[in-house]
A and B are shown apart, each in its own frame.
With several copies, the nearest count.
Chain A
Amino acid sequence: MKLLYFAWVRQKTGTPEEDVTLPDHVRDVGALIDWLKTRGEGYEAAFADLKVVRAAIDQEHVALDAPLGRAQEVAFFPPVTGG
């Protein structure tokens, strides 16, 4: 699965994107976040306050409890500030 990070989430994880193979028990976005937080301080910092983290699965906005299903690409980012 491809993971993408934007804005300060990207700065905190230290990478714009990566390919990961998930453990079987990781079936929704929340579980994915919990798993990512075990991978180091950067991830812990990025996901410390989930009120300001948004997610997209295959380029569609989703809630943080959305099932991953057959997701190919999951992205994490702060609330958007364009316009």
Chain B
Amino acid sequence: MIRVQTEDFDVSAEIAALTKARTDVGAVVTFSGIVRDVALELEHYPGMTERELGKIEEEARARWALQASLIIHRVGRLDPGDNIVLVVTASSHREDAFKAAEFLMDYLKTRAPFWKREGESWVEAKASDDKAAERWK
């Protein structure tokens, strides 16, 4: 599942929704990205964002045995301490849940059309993110 939203999210509620009424999920991994020292404005490319996130999720589910997965990305103004992004992966086995969550984050960071602005300056893309994404090839 994919959601792009201005509202915050609740990690426990999202885990509960994904695992509700199932007894085949043994491992749930979540990644939350949080705004650090400086407030951000998050811009995105509506339409393409959902397509890219959908493709990334599909790719993760082709590579690992997941019972459920979720990507939520917030847009708009975000203050220090605010949540930016949530990835949740649910599997029978912890290794699949961990690997898929890392993959989702690495691909999201390098492929999903979001841009962060801090005050007047746009955040620059990091070479380390490209490198992290490379390892899944």
Residues of A bordering B, CB below 8 Å: 4, 6-8, 56, 59-61, 75, 77-83
Contacts and interface: CB of A to CB of B under 8 A. Distances in A.
Interface string B99-133: 00000010011111111110000111100010000
B15 interface: no
Interface string B7-22: 0000000000000000
Given A6-B43, A75-B48, A56 B113 contact: yes
Q: From DSSP, what is the main secondary structure of chain B's interface residues?
A: mixed
B45 A82 contact: no
A83 B33 contact: yes
B113 A6 contact: yes
B29 interface: no
Interface of B: 33, 42-45, 47-48, 51-52, 73, 84-85, 105, 108-117, 122-125, 129
Nearest to A16: B43
Contacts of B117: 7
A81 B48 contact: no
Contact of A82 (B47, B51, B115, B124): B115
A81 B115 contact: yes
A75 to B, nearest CB: 6
Nearest to B129: A83
Contact of B125 (A4, A60, A81): A81
A52 to B, nearest CB: 8
B48 A56 contact: yes
Contacts of A78: 115, 122, 125
Contacts of A7: 43, 115, 117, 122
Nearest to A82: B114
A59 B122 CA distance: 22
Contacts of A79: 124-125
A6 to B, nearest CB: 6
A81 B51 contact: no
B24 to A, nearest CB: 18
